[in-house]
Amino acid sequence: MHGTTQAVDVAPSAGTPLTTSRPRRSLKERVFGETPSAWLFILPAVVLLATIYVVPFGWSLLLSFKADDLVTPSRWVGLGNYRALAKDPQFGAAVRHTLVYAALYVPLTIGLGMTFALMLNRRIRFIGIYRTLIIVPFVVSYAVQGILFSFIFDSQYGLANAALHAVGIGRQGFFNDPGQALYLIALVGVWSGTGFCLIVFLAALQDVPRELMEAAWIDGARRWGVFRHVIVPTLMPIIVFLLLWQTLIALQLFDLVYVTTNGGPLESTTVVVFFVYEKAFRLLSAGYGAAAAYLVGLGLIALAVLSSFVRNRWMRSA
Amino acid sequence: MQRTSPRRWLRAAIPATVVVLACMLAACGGSSSSNSGGGRSAGPVTITVWHGQSAGPGTDKLMALVAEFNRTHPGITVNASPGSTGTESILQKVTAALAGGDPPNVAYSFGSNVANISRSPQVVDLTNTVKGAGWGWNGYYPAYRDGVTINGKVVAVPGPGDSLAIIYNKRLFRRAGVPEPRAGWTWDDYRALAKRLTDKGAGVYGAAFQSGGSLDSTWPFWPMVWQRGGEVLSADGKSVGWNDQSGLGGLQFLRGLAQDGSVYADTSPGYPKMLNLFNNGSVAMYEGDPWQLPTIKAARIDYGVAPLPSANGNGTTIVGPDAWFVFRHSAAQDRAAAEFLQWLTAPRQDAEWNAATGNLPSRAASTAQPAWQAYAKATPGLSVFTDGLGSGKVVPRVASYSAISDALGEAIQSAVIKTTGNLEDALHAAADKANSAIATTP
């Protein structure tokens, strides 16, 4: 009762000044809005978030315009770091490696995740066990995976070579072979990254309206038809989300490389984030590393903007 | 329900904001104010020490020594803590602290980082301090002194170190029926032995080499370069000193092992895999460090230690001393920091700490101390490592070292993990890369 009277009180008084007295709004009002006290409520959070997120962001942007080894006073070099990066074959190779990894990781994890989700989305015996087993790799930390696989794919004592030997295939170099190491890392990445897609797809599949599927069956749709015309369209927002998410994860690859190959052999697995780490913290070219990090960051932002654009268009057309 | 008035909210929000801001200010400035406060007062001086050691018996011993120092030096209180998750990561912590303007009084560092850290204007020049009375500067091994001296300036106090020798599995030698290595042997002998010791059927490799291309790969390679007359840097310091027969000879030796199939090329980061393989009897010999002996003993391997093989009659080994840096604070604190380091690296303490960690002491006199004698008696072969300290060499302390090592590391990798491909091209490419790194490093 009290609430309704208040609403009646407020509505006209808030409505009239908005239309008639707009030019008379004071500077204070224009800067802080109509409810200046709201700023006080959010101030602690704003200060905290600004300190944690915005300040380092700005600081590293400044850093990327300097030659700085974090030890001696820095020197302003303008766009020098970026120019050097454009010409650095190592950085070019790192970008290439990252793109190869992403090109394998993103479609494979999403494709396999969806396949497994469809397979596991039914009432069969021991379904809980199957689901758990497939999700386990996703739960295992990258460090543990790295150590595990560096033993399995050891070129001289590994299980993988023993298995290949048993079927008559010769010894492989694996992590010691510059031509194989990156693909092997992608394999390990897919092994663990599929679990996440699987969980998301499984959850999304519960939302596919049963009536729609039944209607499709009654109309004579076969399994593929139902999948193509009922399930995929319903899952589309999820697929778009996973495409973006998995791409971001792929472009940020670091830990797996760090524990298995350390960027080698012969720099064949140096990905961009590893490159940044090497330059900034091991070779102490922090400015150069920051510039590389900024390029990666801009790439990620561009990707996010592009995907939200695609998503909006898709939403509108749907 | 009564609506809460904005004023009441204000009263709550303002203190909350103030508290958050105050906490952040305290977090940023807290330790620096306590540091300078200790220096200004006439009372006891408190200094912060980052020792960079991960947990273990060595760290327990160090903390016991620190406690002893605090007990026997009433005017000084040493606050020792790791400062980082391990010695590998302390460089990042120290550079971050330097960039933030708030370094500890004393920090430990790997020798390979000495050149980089010493460029900081906050590093205290210790030249006059360590050469003063009571320090016994000349008592440190020559390589240890070189390891902390840049252009005649002493930038740090020598810490524990290590050197290289060949660690071998006696049982595998007996089984293959080959004689154990003796002083005066050559790299050709090493290659021939490795070939005879290799037994693919039993899963045994004659040799192992850290082939990841990191600092761990160039570390066992430099002795091969030095013995063949090469240097890390040329005399004028403007280019590398191994783009010739000295570097090529080393690469050819490694390629020979690869072609014989007698070397386990460990490309995993660090040493763990190679050590595990040696400890389960799958590797017959390798260039090893003294700190590995306790784990080998614990694995019950019947091992022996021989000096490094030689080339051209030169058996020089490599010595890697770590370093203790002092960062500028108040004069009283800087003096206290130096006093602590002088005490910690004096023979008795030096011997006790290193006997607990398995590293090599920094002074020859320390090896005569009871603690070291007891450790050496319990650890066969240890004397081979300490004997090498007198004549061993240290890599030059230049800021471009990591980049030089990375470049050479690639050539080393291609020599060990491939059995074909031109080594001269790999060597020249590495030298070009290293030379341009030298030219661009200020």
Q: What pTM was estimated for this model as a whole?
A: 0.81
Q: Do the Cβ atoms of A176 and B96 come within 8 Å?
A: no
Return the residue matching tokens 């001393």. B321
Task: Choose from A90, A284, A285 for mutation: most chain B CBs within 10 A.
Answer: A284
User: Quick check: A89 contacting B, CB < 8 Å?
Assistant: no
The secondary element (H helix, E strand) that includes residue B305 is: strand B303-306
Contact B209, B266 (CB under 8 A): yes
Convert the pLDDT of each residue in A224-283 to its tens digit: 888 888 888 889 889 988 998 999 899 989 999 988 888 878 889 999 999 999 888 888
Facing residue for B267 by CB, picked from A40, A67, A175: A175
* CA distance linking residue A305 with residue A244, whole number of Å: 10
Closest CA to B319 of B220, B243, B436: B220
pLDDT recorded at residue B150: 94
Q: Do the Cβ atoms of B24 and A258 come within 8 Å?
A: no
pLDDT recorded at residue A12: 43
- Tokens at residue B406, please? 């990375």
- Tokens at residue A122, please? 């039914």
Chain B positions touching A176 (Cβ under 8 A) are: 211, 265, 267, 417
pLDDT recorded at residue A299: 86
Within chain A, residue ranges assigned H as helices are 2-20, 27-32, 37-49, 55-63, 80-87, 89-120, 127-139, 142-152, 159-166, 181-205, 210-218, 223-226, 232-251, 255-260, 272-277, 286-317
pLDDT recorded at residue A50: 86
pLDDT recorded at residue A22: 56
- Tokens at residue B174, please? 């007996």
Residues in chain B: 442
Q: Given a cut of 70, is residue A40 above it in pLDDT?
A: yes
pLDDT recorded at residue B123: 94
CA distances from A238 to A193, A194, A243, A273 (A): 16, 14, 9, 27
Q: How far is B379 from chain A (nearest CA, A)?
A: 30
Task: Choose from B254, B267, B271 for mutation: most chain A CBs within 10 A.
Answer: B267
* CA distance linking residue B431 with residue B420, whole number of Å: 20
Q: How far is B280 from chain A (nearest CA, A)?
A: 12
Give ipTM to 2 decimals: 0.74
What one-letter code names the amino acid at B156? A
- In the 8-state DSSP scheme, what is residue B140? B
Chain B positions touching A264 (Cβ under 8 A) are: 212-213, 267, 413
pLDDT recorded at residue B38: 38
Q: How far is A175 from chain B (nearest CA, A)?
A: 8
Q: Do the Cβ atoms of B402 and A282 come within 8 Å?
A: yes
pLDDT recorded at residue B422: 93
Q: How far is B436 from chain A (nearest CA, A)?
A: 12
Task: Flag the least confident range among A2-11, A208-217, B253-262, B394-403.
Answer: A2-11
Closest CA to B432 of B403, B397, B412: B403
Q: Do the Cβ atoms of A281 and B92 come within 8 Å?
A: yes
pLDDT above 70: percentage of residues in chain A: 92
Task: Choose from A42, A69, A152, A180 for mutation: most chain B CBs within 10 A.
Answer: A69
pLDDT recorded at residue A105: 96
Q: Do the Cβ atoms of A69 and B96 come within 8 Å?
A: no
Question: Which chain B residue shows the shortest CA-CA distance from A68?
Answer: B99
pLDDT above 90: percentage of residues in chain A: 28
- Enumerate the β-bridge partners of residue B153: B150
Q: Do the Cβ atoms of B120 and A281 come within 8 Å?
A: no
The radius of gyration of chain A's CA atoms, rounded to the nearest angstrom, is 27
Contact partners, residue A32, CB within 8 Å, separation at least 6 = A39
Question: Which chain A residue shows the shortest CA-CA distance from B261?
Answer: A156
What three-state secondary structure class fits B167? strand
pLDDT recorded at residue A100: 96
The secondary element (H helix, E strand) that includes residue B322 is: strand B319-326
Chains A–B, number of C-beta pairs less than 8 Å apart = 99
Contact map slice: B 340-369 vs A, CB within 8 A: none
* Residue segments in chain B with a per-residue pLDDT below the cut of 70: 1-43
Facing residue for B267 by CB, picked from A70, A264, A267: A264
Q: Do the Cβ atoms of B413 and A265 come within 8 Å?
A: yes
Chain B positions touching A73 (Cβ under 8 A) are: 121
Other beta carbons less than 10 A from residue A93's beta carbon:
15
Q: Do the Cβ atoms of A47 and B417 come within 8 Å?
A: no
Contact B247, B230 (CB under 8 A): yes
Convert the pLDDT of each residue in B131-173 to its tens digit: 988 899 999 999 999 999 999 999 999 999 999 999 999 999 9
